[in-house]
Amino acid sequence: MPKVKQPEKEYADYVEHPRFGRTPHVTGLNPESDLLTGKVYVHWHSPPECRIPNTAIAADVSRQAPATLPVTHYYDARRECRDCGRRFIFSAREQKYWYEDLGFPLEADCVRCIICRRKQQGLAGKRERYEELFHLAARTPAQSLEMAECCLSLMEEGIFHRRQTQHVRKLLKEAAVAGDKDSQALQDALRERLNLLERDTKDG
């Protein structure tokens, strides 16, 4: 008896995308690239081994960023997250969204799952904000506190070196001058996180 693949089972451990889901979206369309006529061109970032058959959707080439070779069809494609190693689907619908609505160049590929992407975007924002605050000639206590929070988060994720703990303590001292209640609660929470991080560093 031929083995029938059950999509639910096969994709059970795939990362769920809040908008595009976790399992393939079957359209029944299964075109192959035809380089001779150029009428069909499937994205080079999704070779047959990661392409999921019968999931293609047609592209609107006129909406893509200019490219030597436009892509005429997108397929649901299997990916493995660069950061957490979990599998996920870079769906045809998401590709259409990237290349036609967001205007991403066709060179752009999705290498991280949605969870890691969100995490990374959050951290990129923190890093940027940290730099801004760092370059201020003078900081208010609230700004020192915000900077301490950014720095701490970046250390927790291993982006900043853990040597920076002294720096965060100094920022917290600067912030302590303020003395209002909200700020106090945040200061306490940050100190707690800082202590945990220092303990981890000693243990590790």
Quote the least distance from Cβ 119 to Zn ion, whole Å: 8
**DSSP letters spanning the chain:** -PPPP-HHHHTTTSPPBTTTBSS----S-----BTTT-SB-B-TTS-TTTBPTT--EE--GGGSPP-SS---EE--EEEE-TTT--EEEE-HHHHHIIIIIS---TT----S-HHHHHHHHHHHHHHHHHHHHHT-SS--HHHHHHHHHHHHHHHHTTSS-GGGHHHHHHHHHHHHTT--HHHHHHHHHHHHHHHHHHHHHHH-
Quote the least distance from Cβ 91 to Zn ion, whole Å: 16
Quote the least distance from Cβ 89 to Zn ion, whole Å: 13
Quote the least distance from Cβ 114 to Zn ion, whole Å: 8
Nearer to Zn ion, 82 or 173 (CB): 82
**78 and 47 in contact (C-beta within 8 Å)?**
no
Nearer to Zn ion, 84 or 186 (CB): 84
Quote the least distance from Cβ 19 to Zn ion, whole Å: 16
Nearer to Zn ion, 86 or 191 (CB): 86
Beta carbons within 8 Å of 37's beta carbon, 6+ residues apart: none
Residues that bind Zn ion (CB under 5 A): 81, 83-84, 113, 116
Quote the least distance from Cβ 195 to Zn ion, whole Å: 29
Nearer to Zn ion, 56 or 116 (CB): 116
Nearer to Zn ion, 52 or 113 (CB): 113
Nearer to Zn ion, 43 or 112 (CB): 112
Nearest-CA neighbor of 24 among 101, 102, 112, 94? Answer: 94
